[in-house]
Amino acid sequence: MLIRENLEVLKNCIENILNMKIYYVYILKCSDKTYYTGVTSNLEIRIFEHQHGKHVESYTYKRRPLELVFYCEFTEVGLAIETEKQIKKWSKAKKKALINDDYEKLPNLAKKKFK
């Protein structure tokens, strides 16, 4: 009986993992050397839309071609959106550090410089 219950729990865990939705926060490098940060549940389709100018009014439309330079995965949409908003506020230098995996530079780049 205990083995059957454990197998049922394991089956439920596997089903939950397989049904888990993934969200992506991504950074594109634009042709004018600026960065665009976004969030999506389908990275491949969203990059295609950016590259092909699906949204004429978007930031990236007139800045094509674009290059995907960074992305990270989330299982909670709220955390993905929060992270996207945070990164959008960052300086170009801080975004470059993230893109280049220079994580040790991030705390110093977060400090304000007072004149």
- pLDDT tens-digit profile of 95-105? 999 999 998 88
At residue 14, the pLDDT reads 78
At residue 112, the pLDDT reads 54
Query: DSSP per residue over the chain, as a string?
Result: -HHHHHHHHHHHHHHHHHT---EEEEEEE-TTS-EEEEEES-HHHHHHHHHTTS-TTSTTGGG-S-EEEEEEEES-HHHHHHHHHHHHTS-HHHHHHHHTT-GGGHHHHHSPPP-
Instruction: Identify the CATH homologous superfamily for domain 21-110.
Output: GIY-YIG endonuclease (3.40.1440.10)
At residue 106, the pLDDT reads 85
Q: What is the pTM of this model?
A: 0.81
At residue 15, the pLDDT reads 76
For the cut 60, the answer to whether the pLDDT of residue 29 exceeds it is yes
